[in-house]
Amino acid sequence: MFKVMNSIMLMTMISMGLMIICSVISSKSIMDREKMSPFECGFDPKSSPRMPFSMQFFLIAVLFLIFDVEIVIIMPMVVTLKKSMTMTWMITVIMFIMILIMGLFHEWKNGILEWAN
């Protein structure tokens, strides 16, 4: 118990020390009009600094992240195959994959996967 309390106190002190050091190092400088304006080779920018963003690209990126997280969820299922009952494991995996397929068909039906609109 003493080791746990010591390690918790040590971690708290280290994290608080790092937060204090970071706040001292990154003290905000005075923001004036020149520092807040966008800079393009010494001239005023010709176009808006905010570029238009493709919503289709954003949806595909979110779709990729969702499937990436789902792969991370599937990986431990393979490891637990030897330690669990086969029927329960199969039902869990089939339900998980069916939910993934239903989500994919839902996105396909709503046109998220279509590039040419």
Has residue 17 got a pLDDT over 90?
Answer: yes
CA 89/CA 80 separation, integer angstroms: 8
pLDDT (tens digit per residue) in 51-104: 677 777 877 788 788 878 888 888 888 888 888 888 888 898 899 889 888 988
pTM value > 0.85:
no
Q: What is the pLDDT of residue 112?
A: 74
DSSP 60-79: HHHHHHHHHHHHHHHHHHHH
Residues in the chain: 117
Query: What is the residue extent of each domain of the chain?
Result: 55-109
Mean pLDDT of the chain: 79
Has residue 10 got a pLDDT over 90?
Answer: yes
